[in-house]
Chain A
Amino acid sequence: MKTKDLRSSGTYVSLATSCDKNYPPEHIIDGNGETFWMSTGMFPQAFTISFPSPTEIADISLQSYNVKGLKIEKCISEEVGTFETLAERELEHTEELLQALKISLNTSTTLLRFTITSGYDHFVSVNEVHMSS
């Protein structure tokens, strides 16, 4: 099992519903635990991660703060628009500590969509997403 270095493989965050330029969505896959993406109010919030070619994903791990409902979907058509749900979770509330979630996906796709349906606060952060194949 190997952990992907997401940025050097040409992977990028192709959409995000919030953008504070000091806490941009790029921080989600920059491999730096000290940086994060911050949502700027209201739910749902979403971001998508695009891969340059169909990519095998075994597990995904996510670090966040104050996220409650989370849905992960993959795009199943050539054109973006049709999605299939891979996982839906309700995360536990943490204080003074990031939430750490690990999910087995065992799938292959060119685009993943993460939807945060609710939060434990008005604002949530996603600090890091890692994948392994």
Chain B
Amino acid sequence: MVKLRARCILVGDAAVGKSALSQMFRSDGAHFQKIYSMTAGVELLTKSVNVPNTSDSVELYIFDSPGREIFAEASEKMWGQPSVMCLVFDISSEASFSSCGRWLERVRAHCQGLQVPGVLVGNKSDLSSRREVETATAQEWAQSQGMEYFETSAKEMESCDAPFICLAQAFHTLYQDRLNTIQSIVSP
């Protein structure tokens, strides 16, 4: 049984629901922020996630970063060396999806060449009548970037845990890999 710790960078355009998603996840659905309040600084949330089919867990330190450009640059300084990343867009906004590539580059610039597991999240799946980004399109792009794709609705408490569990699992797999590498060096 081991408890891993991961620095999870949460990014995406302003008002796609990053804070709502992370707060729903953190509070197990008890806290949905009905009134939008723009994130200016970095909000830090922590939650432990059990890795499915193991007795291990990953404590996620979620760095909820502002999407608004004037705050984004300052908040990047808080990211440090990311362990995993969660990239969010709004399925009813094509523009927020097109920004994802730019956000990805931005986080990768902090990764110092390390493999950093990531997930792409299409939030606001409850707004399906106003959908501008097709599931298949998002899925395809996520795959091309080596990420898993999830659709969530923070408002309807739909699948909010899934992306974070996936990240915990991926980080846990990295840990096992590294253990095996070192094990094979010391006792070939």
- Which residues of A come within 8 Å of B, CB atoms? 18-23, 33-36, 38, 40-43, 65-66, 96-98, 118, 121-123, 125, 127
Contact = CB atoms under 8 A, between A and B. Distances in A.
Contacts of A121: 114, 178
Contacts of A20: 2
Nearest to B61: A42
Interface in B1-48: 1-7
A34 B186 CA distance: 5
9 contacts: A20-B2, A40-B3, A41-B5, A41-B7, A43-B81, A122-B83, A122-B114, A122-B178, A127-B186
A98 B1 CA distance: 26
Q: Is the interface of A mostly helix, strand, loop or mixed?
A: loop
A23 B171 CA distance: 18
A23 B179 contact: yes
B182 A122 contact: no
B175 A41 contact: yes
Interface string B80-114: 11010000000000000000000000000000001
Q: Is the interface of B mostly helix, strand, loop or mixed?
A: mixed
A41 B6 contact: yes
Contacts of A118: 81
A35 B179 CA distance: 11
B159 to A, nearest CB: 25
B129 interface: no
Counting chain B CB atoms within 10 Å of each CB, which of A18, A20, A22, A33 scores highest?
A20
Nearest to B175: A123
B127 interface: no
A116 to B, nearest CB: 12
B84 to A, nearest CB: 9
A118 B175 CA distance: 16
B53 interface: no
Given A20-B2, A98-B185, A122-B114, A38 B83 contact: no
A65 B186 CA distance: 11
A34 B187 contact: yes
A127 B187 CA distance: 12
Given A122-B174, A122-B178, A42 B185 contact: no
Contacts of A35: 186
A40 B2 contact: yes
B178 A33 contact: no
Contacts of B3: 40
B10 to A, nearest CB: 16
B5 A40 contact: yes
B4 A41 contact: yes
B7 A42 contact: yes
A35 B185 CA distance: 11
Contact of A41 (B1, B83, B185, B187): B83
A16 B128 CA distance: 49
